[in-house]
Amino acid sequence: MVSASDPLALLPPGDGTLGHVAIGDVTLVTGVVLPAVTLAVQRWGRVNEDRSNVVLVEHALTGDSHVVGPVDSLHPTPGWWNGLVGPGLPLDTDRYCVVSVNVLGGCRGSTGPSSLHPDGHYWGARFPAVSVRDMVTSERMLADLLGIERWAAVIGGSMGGARTLEWMITHPERVRAACVLAVGARASADQIGIQTAQIMAVTSDPHWQQGGYHGTGRTPVTGLGIARRIAHLSYRGEVELDERFANRPQPGEDPRAEDLSMSGRFAVQSYLDHQAGKLVSRFDACTYVLLTDALNRHDVGLDRGGVEEALHSCPVPCVIGGVTTDRLYPLRQQEELAALLPGADPLVVIESPAGHDGFLTEDDVVGPMLARTMELSEQDTIERSRGLA
Ligand SMILES: CC(=O)SCCNC(=O)CCNC(=O)[C@H](O)C(C)(C)COP(=O)(O)OP(=O)(O)OC[C@H]1O[C@@H](n2cnc3c(N)ncnc32)[C@H](O)[C@@H]1OP(=O)(O)O
Ligand SMILES: N[C@@H](CCO)C(=O)O
């Protein structure tokens, strides 16, 4: 039961309604204090009596807390795990209460560069650099406020997977089980390189204005669109793209015209234009830079004696998965996680042409992984109640 004074009353209703929770000042790893932070939260399902059934689902770079549901005035994209979370689905909301939080620094309701600074002007690029650990600090503060001592599970892919790993390593006693998809223990040289090119595409746009473009009516949409094109290529499979588009012209256009006007496009150019257009209509450029930079600095081994030591120290039972054609977070990175995390099941290899985005498209494989994660969570509950863990 949730009484008026119960901290759970801070949560929005269990039907996916978007709510906002003020968590106070957040002290970042750098020592900088971020004042008056708010996190946007959605949840599905009911919290049980002892609050032991709450699952935290972590979104990826340009995702948000809208795990489930249609496009509406508040949500520009459909739920990104619509087929996986809900009544009777692998993450069964008749049984579990699923909570998702727009990341610290995000632009879909949580405090970030596109929010107002306490001085009444937009934060913009004055927003301090945040790390994946800072994101988890803000979520730990939320859990404290809500009186949730342990998540039944923490689950996420890509940047959501990085947050999940940090939860597991920083607060193992607060995570009963976990599922980590399509991410690595630290950023690789390749990721830092490609992500830095994306950041530079945004910050080189004349409308960037040193990150102070909010409220000026001129936003760096060209740069953000270029960044998304580069990123989207890294999210999809190389063979998949060639099979879909090859070097065919976009119908009705002639990319081989001899005047170099670039007016005619290849089909893949048109596809990437479409993906870029969709992102710029829904995402803030400064937020994109902030979160991409956080991914560049992701390293679970930092100040913990290195990746091997950090992973070895983490006892949380977990399921790790990677996609065969992921060229951004290649399978070898999930092989490392599964080999070095003592609580990991054997690696789940997701056979898919879709590349990194496979964790969003391959419900048939990801569904059983979520079900298995909840099985591990239940086992841990039973072992604890018998005093074995
Ligand atoms: C965990 C998270 O929350 S991450 C956030 C998830 N959402 C996003 O990243 C939004 C961007 N979208 C995507 O990344 C992908 O669409 C996914 C992963 C969500 C789904 O993948 P898929 O279903 O395989 O989408 P796909 O790559 O085929 O893209 C389909 C779109 O391209 C369009 N398209 C296909 N070919 C062309 C072309 N030649 N020219 C123009 N547009 C084209 C389709 O019309 C369709 O448009 P729509 O999405 O507006 O309906
Ligand atoms: N499509 C995902 C891929 C990154 O994990 C996103 O845009 O966040």
Measured from the Cα of 64, ligand 1's closest atom is 3
| Closest listed ligand to the CA of 249 | 1
**Ligand nearest 58 Cα, by number?**
1
Q: Tell me the pLDDT tens digit for each residue of 349-372.
A: 999 999 999 999 999 999 999 999
What is the whole-number distance in angstroms between the Cα of residue 223 and the centre of ligand 2? Answer: 18
Extract the tokens encoding 293: 């930079």
Q: Which two tokens stand for residue 193?
A: 């390189």
Per-residue pLDDT tens for 142-200? 999 999 999 999 999 999 999 999 999 999 999 999 999 999 999 999 999 999 999 99
Q: What are the angstrom distances between the C-alpha of 114 and each of 121, 203, 287, 351?
A: 10, 16, 7, 38
Residue 6's pLDDT band (boundaries 50, 70, 90)?
A: confident
Tell me which of 233, 328, 357 to substitute to probe ligand 1's pocket, judged by most ligand atoms within 8 Å of the beta carbon. Answer: 357
Strands of the sheet with 178-181, listed across from one edge? 19-27, 33-44, 97-101, 54-58, 153-157, 178-181, 318-323, 348-350
Instruction: Ligand 1: list residues with CB < 6 Å.
Output: 59-60, 62-63, 77, 80, 157, 160, 250, 267, 270-271, 274, 278, 357, 360-361
List all residues 6 or more positions away from 214 whose beta carbon is below 8 Å from its beta carbon.
113, 114, 122, 123, 124, 286
The mean per-residue pLDDT over the stretch 1-16 comes to 74
Mutate to test the pocket of ligand 1, among 77, 271, 273, 280 (most ligand atoms within 8 A of CB): 271
CB 127 within 8 A of CB 116: no
At residue 24, φ and ψ (nearest 5 deg) are 90, -165
Cβ burial 291-306 (10 Å sphere, 16+ → b, else e): bbbbbbbbbbeeeeee
Confidence (pLDDT) at 1: 40
Query: Is 262's pLDDT higher than 70?
Result: no
Q: Which atom of ligand 1 is nearest to the CA of 67?
A: 3
Specify the pTM: 0.96
Task: Identify whether the C-beta of residue 338 lies closer than 8 Å to the C-beta of residue 364.
Answer: no
Catalytic residue among 134, 205, 326, 380: 326
Q: How far apart are CA 62 and CA 292, in angstroms?
A: 10
Catalytic annotation present for 114? no
Question: What are residue 27's DSSP bridge partners?
Answer: 33
Percentage of the chain exceeding pLDDT 70: 97
Give dist(CA 149, CA 56) in Å, integer.
12
Is pLDDT of 80 > 80?
A: yes
- Answer yes or no: is 357 a known binding residue: yes
Assess whether 356 carries a catalytic annotation: yes
Q: In the prediction, which pLDDT does 73 show?
A: 87
Query: Within its chain, how far is the Cα of 260 from the centroid?
Result: 39
